[in-house]
Each structure stands twice: as C-alpha cells, then as structure tokens.
Amino acid sequence: MDNTVSSTTDRRKPGRISRSAVDQALAGYLFVLPAFVSLVVFLLGPIVYSFYISFFHFSFLDPQNASFAGFDNYLHLFVDPVFLQALGNTFIYTIGVVPIQTAVALLLAVIVNRIRGKTFFRIAYYLPTVTSTVAVAVMFIFIFNPNGLLNSFLSLFGIQGPNYFNDPTLALPAVMSVAIWSSVGQFMIFYLAGLQDISDEVYEAAAIDGASGFRLLWSITMPLLRRTTFLVVVMGMIGAFQVFDTVYVISNGNGGPIGSTMTVVLDLFNKAFKDMQMGYASAMAFVLFAIILIFTLLQNWLLGRED
C-alpha cells in the first residue's frame, strides 16, 4: 500500500508541481520586476556607482578624465578642516538633539496617553512632523530674528536677546531646537503605540506592591518600552546625522556664520554640486554611512538585546 501510494504521488508530483512552480515563480517574478528594476536603477545602481567613484578624482562635468585616487579621497577627509568641523557640528547636534527629543517624546506620550482629548493632542503634537522642514525653518527664522517673536517676548522682561542665527555660538543650538520641535511629535506617536502594548495588569500588580507615580514610570513603563526606545533613538540618530534642509535654509547653503552650522550632508552637497568634486563627496557619503552603521550596531548591542 505504502509503496503504491508513494509511487503514484512520486509520479504525479514532479510534473504538476514543477509546472505550477514555474508558472507561479514566473508570475511572481513578473510582479516583482517593476519594483526590482526601479530598485536597481534608482537605488542600488547609484549606490554602487557612488562607491566606485569615491575612489576617483571625479567631476560630473568631465567623467572621461576621472583619475584613480585610491584611498586619497577618504584619507583627505581626515585632514580637511571644513569636513572635520562639519563632523564635529554633526556630533554636537546629534548628542544634543537625540536625548532631548527622546525624553520629551516619552514625557508627552505618557501625558497624552492619560489625558482627556487624547486625539486633539496627538494631532497637535504630530503636526510639526508633517510640516515641510523648509517651512519650519522659515518660521523659526522669524522667531529667532533679532527683533523677532522670541526677543520681543524677552524684552517684556527687559532682556536684550541676541542675534541667534548670526552668532557662531548660538546658531547651532538654535538649529537644534528647531529639529527637536519638529521631530518630537513623530517619536511621541511611536511611544504611544508602545504604551498601548503594556497591559494594565502590570500596573495593577505594581500598585498592589505599593508602587506609584514616578516609580511606576521608572520601573514599569521605561523597561517595557525598551524596544520602542531603541527604535526612537536609532531613527532619531540617523535623522540627526543626516541633517541638511534646516541648515541649508537657515545659512543660505553656506553653513555660516563661520561654519558653525556646517553639517556633513551640507558639506557633501556643497562639494558635489558647487565645487563639482563628486568623487570626494561620494567618499564623504560612505564615511557618514559607516559612522551611522557603527552607532546603530552599538545601540543595538546596548539597548536591543533580549534579557
């Protein structure tokens, strides 16, 4: 019995399944093809090509005369004062923006989660995220204007406010506050989703044990939100390292005053499209990629581990 059954299935299976398998595979590949082709043409292709030209002295205008540079582009980055300043600014920016925006997002989420009129606050805090960063930057130019909103407010108390965006020590913190304001809403939504996953029973059990208030937040909410925090920190860090549009608008594209708002991506853009040093700019892009990768892996190791 066993033999006959298995032999019949053996006879039928290969033919039928292989035909349908081919059909299915073909249909599958056909459906995937447009997405795959556009991925290769518009994403993978440019990335590979960009990696390739990062080893050349390459100008967009004169691709035929590109000369092989080996690691020159990469090595030069570490003695280029403009890039080093941009890298320093980007680090300061990231260190300033990510912790504050994560903390504020968590705080807002915890408050909004309990408050009446939840939906209204969710929309209100999320709105800055869907606003174009260029529009946000223009709005903050008005706020930080020497006679703008903020300084007019300060003058009510008799304080003469500074010229924020034109003071080399204040320009970067001003840009950081713009970034925090506009991205907090998005991360608050992430935290809200995380909070919804924590069941009330945990809190009830903790309450029975006598925990309350801040202790609940510290010992129950935060540990249980660890995965969300990992996501928020990583996303926030990637966004911070790639900051471009705000500083581009605020400094008119030159990273001023005296390079205090020059960031890596702004420097990259200027090198590629103003100085036409595409090879050098590509090298910059891959160094930035490596930095982001290293920090993400580091955070994965610190925050993302299961117990």
Partner 1 sequence: MKKSQKWMALTATFALGTTILAGCSTTPTSAAAPVRKASAPIHLTVGMWSSSPAEHSLVESQVKLFEKQNPNIKVSVRVINGNYLQVLQPMLASHTAPDIFYLDSSVAPQLEASGALMNLDQYIKRDHVNLSDFNPHLLSAFKWKGSYYGVPKDFNSLALEYNKSLMAKAGIKTPPATWQQLQQDAVKLKAKHIAPLSMPVDVARYYPFVLDFGGNYFNPNTNQATFPNPKNRAGLGYFMNMVENGSIVQPNALNGASWAGQAFAENKVAMVAEGAWLLPFMQQTAPKLQYGISRFPSYNGKSYNMLYTVSYSMAAATKYPAQAAKLLFFMTGPAAEKLTAQSGLAIPSRSSEQKYFLKQNPSYAAFVAGGKDAVPYQFGTLGQNFVDAINNATLAGILKKQSPSVVLSSATKTLSSQSNY
**Cβ 207 to partner 1, closest distance in Å?**
50
**Cβ 185 to partner 1, closest distance in Å?**
21
Residue type, 212: S
**Cβ 14 to partner 1, closest distance in Å?**
47
Rounded-to-integer distance, Cα 102 and Cα 184, Å: 7
**Cβ 92 to partner 1, closest distance in Å?**
18
Find out whether 247 and 226 touch, Cβ atoms under 8 Å: no
**Cβ 154 to partner 1, closest distance in Å?**
15
Nearer to partner 1, 186 or 277 (CB): 277
Nearer to partner 1, 228 or 277 (CB): 277
**Cβ 132 to partner 1, closest distance in Å?**
11
**Omega within 30 of 0 (cis) for the link into 257:** yes
**Cβ 39 to partner 1, closest distance in Å?**
15
Structure tokens at 153: 């407010």
Find out whether 155 and 161 touch, Cβ atoms under 8 Å: yes
Nearer to partner 1, 141 or 224 (CB): 141
Nearer to partner 1, 14 or 46 (CB): 46
DSSP lists the bridge partners of residue 67 as 57
| Residue 290: HSE in the Cβ half-sphere, 13 Å Cα cutoff | 9
Q: Which residues of 62-80 are buried (b: 16+ CB within 10 A; e: fewer)?
A: eeeebeebeebbbeebeeb
Nearer to partner 1, 81 or 210 (CB): 81
Terminal-residue alpha carbon distance, the chain:
52
Nearer to partner 1, 256 or 304 (CB): 256
Q: What angle do CA 197, 106, 124 make, to 5 degrees?
A: 95
The residue whose two tokens read 């990583």 is 234
| Residue 60: HSE in the Cβ half-sphere, 13 Å Cα cutoff | 11
- Helix runs in the chain, H state only: 2-39, 45-53, 72-77, 81-114, 118-130, 133-144, 149-156, 171-197, 200-208, 214-216, 222-224, 226-241, 245-250, 264-273, 278-303
Nearer to partner 1, 204 or 275 (CB): 275
Nearer to partner 1, 81 or 158 (CB): 81
Which residues contribute to the site for partner 1 (CB under 8 A)? Answer: 57, 59-63, 65, 72-73, 76, 79-82, 141, 145-148, 163, 165-166, 168, 244-245, 248, 252, 254, 256-259, 269-271, 273-277, 279-280
Rounded-to-integer distance, Cα 85 and Cα 162, Å: 24
